[in-house]
């Protein structure tokens, strides 16, 4: 299989559209199988609640969102302005905000949601200049 770095495809239109090539489809299929296999292996490695309890660890302390929750609590204790993305994204869970490829990276709508939340957060705290805050939103 021939490998052409994406940067060359973008820079040289003569190379063609990699997305429609047989090599690109084969590479994508291989990558999807690899990601699927890795997810399965990670799920097996991820300890369940009972395993955590036997190890003396509270499952609540092991939750994936704990680092973010700790950061938010740290900032709030010190009166540091912080935008917690968790409730923002949760409020839009019925929308297609995540990419289907992995369910973790945002789609365009996910970026729009967070951009709006960030602008509101900054404007609400007087952290945007007057000209920026008064500018019309992009359509």
Position 42 scores a pLDDT of 55
User: Residue 54: which region, alpha, beta or left (left: phi > 0; alpha: psi -120 to 50)?
Assistant: alpha
Position 136 scores a pLDDT of 62
CA R_g for the chain: 22
Report the distance separating Cα 97 and Cα 110, nearest Å: 4
Phi, psi of 91 (to 5 degrees): -65, -15
Report the distance separating Cα 41 and Cα 35, nearest Å: 10
Is the pLDDT reported for residue 53 higher than 90?
no
CB 72 within 8 A of CB 88: no
Chain segment 57-99, per-residue pLDDT in tens: 777 666 667 778 888 999 999 999 999 998 999 899 889 888 8
Chain segment 23-44, per-residue pLDDT in tens: 777 777 777 777 777 665 555 5
Is the pLDDT reported for residue 137 higher than 70?
no
Position 56 scores a pLDDT of 81
Name the β-bridge partners of 106.
98
Mean pLDDT of the chain: 74
């Amino acid at each position: 299989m021939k490998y052409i770095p994406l940067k060359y495809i973008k820079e040289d239109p003569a190379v063609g559209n990699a997305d429609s090539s047989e090599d690109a489809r084969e590479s994508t299929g291989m990558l999807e199988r690899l990601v699927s296999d890795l997810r399965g292996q990670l799920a097996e490695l991820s300890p369940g609640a009972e395993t955590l309890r036997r190890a003396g660890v509270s499952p609540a302390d092991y939750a994936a969102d704990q680092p973010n929750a700790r950061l938010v609590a740290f900032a709030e204790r010190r009166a540091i302005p912080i935008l917690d993305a968790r409730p923002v994204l949760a409020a839009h869970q019925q929308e297609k905000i995540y990419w289907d490829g992995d369910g973790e990276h945002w789609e365009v709508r996910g970026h729009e949601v967070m951009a709006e939340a960030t602008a509101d957060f900054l404007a609400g705290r007087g952290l945007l200049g007057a000209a920026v805050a008064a500018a019309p939103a992009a359509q």
